[in-house]
Amino acid sequence: GQAVPASQKSSWAAFIKTIASFSGDLSSLTAPPFILSPISLTEFPAYWCERPELFSAIADAKDEEDRSLRVLRWFISTLKGQYTSRNESMGSEKKPLNPVLGELFFGYWPDKNGRGQTDLAVEQVSHHPPITAYYISNKSKGLALQGHSAQKTSFSSGSIIVKQIGHAVLTVKLPDGGEERFVITLPKLRIDGIWYGSPYIELTDTSYIQSSSGWLSTIEYKGRGYFSGKSHQFKASVSAPGASSATHVFEGLWHTTSKDSKTNVPFTDVTCPKEEVTVAPIDAQDEWESRRLWAAVARGIREGDFETASREKSKIENEQRQRRRDEQAAGTRWELRHFRHLDNDPVYEKLVKICKSITPSTEDTYEFLCNVPPVGNEK
Ligand code: 0T9
């Protein structure tokens, strides 16, 4: 492969050796320049809503079964953005910027064709280990997704294995004044192509979407050579409350199309362009907003000026270390701005009792405080 520039071959080999013998937080390791991305992990929650019309369509479901199918369709349709978009925009998976504690990312997708405006708020709630909390809502449709994301990484036969920690809860307001909730768990990732310096993600294992109505989606992920010879395969079974067999089965490729296995009716199609989140211009952003905070580093990476990038990165990291020392000396702690940490998530616990396959049986959560100022002027 030609992915690793000749001048970085030895530093790439050294980096692979480090990750192979290392378990824990990969995000804090220093990697060779060619693999660096100018985008911070705090931007990643935006992938949940780059097809805003599929998100808003959840509100138009006619019953619980239909709602579960719409949630599944939206979920599957986010996977291409979540797991292949860096390959498309930058040629391979790249190492994202490691967010600082308190880093923020705000944005929205404007109202169009009656779908309502969707708003995104993200806060880095832990630096070590990295934990990102997010809240995505479409107020006019009564939809809100609250979640947090962390990773546990290990190395196995040349691949990085990433276990996703955390979960998301989707809350849907119903016309009768009630609410339906969905607990969404996240797939396991395998990062292949490391040796050649052109990493890409394959999804493995199983993830679940358990509704408070009792409907359950079980999504199995397979790569090349399993159900068929193709990458990015999935099979989703949707079962009625308490049922052991599936009412619906959908199969296909999560980065292109899928269909109903029995009827062949199309289910998902993400071959058309997605819609990127709108953010405020950098000058209008808060000092802690990701694109403003990392502007100089990102410019260095984009322009191939890695000396500047690494100098600017060190400035941010030193400033962070000083802050932590000052807090320790003053006996204070960094206060989260838009989320509150809770040791237990009652919604998660309740729904996990319905779906025994979901582990662990308890999780913590970050509750959104609904105190984010409006972004842009479309509100
Ligand atoms: C949540 C997503 C997550 C974050 C990223 C593993 C990874 C950090 C976490 C899981 C999103 O909803 C979906 C997509 C991509 C995931 C990243 C891919 C990746 O490589 C990084 C890790 C930390 C690395 O940067 C590994 C080193 C690098 C050289 C490999 C390219």
- ipTM of predicted complex: 0.98
Say if strands 95-97 and 36-40 run parallel, antiparallel, or are unpaired: parallel
- Counted residue by residue, the chain has a size of 379
CA of 240 to the centre of ligand 1 (A): 34
Q: 373, 108 in Cβ contact below 8 A?
A: no
| Strands (E) located in the chain | 36-40, 95-97, 104-109, 118-126, 131-138, 143-156, 159-165, 168-173, 179-184, 188-192, 200-211, 216-222, 233-239, 248-253, 257-260, 266-269, 339-342, 365-368
Bond preceding residue 38 cis, omega within 30 of 0: no
CA of 39 to the centre of ligand 1 (A): 11
- 189, 196, 198: residue to mutate for ligand 1 pocket, most atoms within 8 A of CB: 189
Say if strands 143-156 and 159-165 run parallel, antiparallel, or are unpaired: antiparallel
- Which DSSP symbol is given to 81? H
Got the DSSP string for 226-272?
A: SSSS-SSEEEEEEE-TT-SS-SEEEEEETTSEEEETTT--EEEE--S
With a pLDDT cut of 70, the percent of the chain lying above it is 98
* Predicted confidence (pLDDT) at residue 379 exceeds the cutoff of 50: no
CA of 5 to the centre of ligand 1 (A): 22
Closest-lying ligand 1 atom to the alpha carbon of residue 41: 4
pLDDT in tens, 104-138: 999 999 999 999 999 999 999 999 999 999 999 99
pLDDT in tens, 10-24: 999 999 999 998 777
CA of 220 to the centre of ligand 1 (A): 20
- 35, 160, 277: residue to mutate for ligand 1 pocket, most atoms within 8 A of CB: 160
pLDDT in tens, 247-305: 999 999 999 999 999 999 999 999 999 999 999 999 999 999 999 999 999 999 999 99
pLDDT in tens, 144-197: 999 999 999 999 989 999 999 999 999 999 999 999 999 999 999 999 999 999
Is the pTM here over 0.95, yes or no? yes
Q: Which tokens sit at 320? A: 């962070």
Q: 334, 126 in Cβ contact below 8 A?
A: no
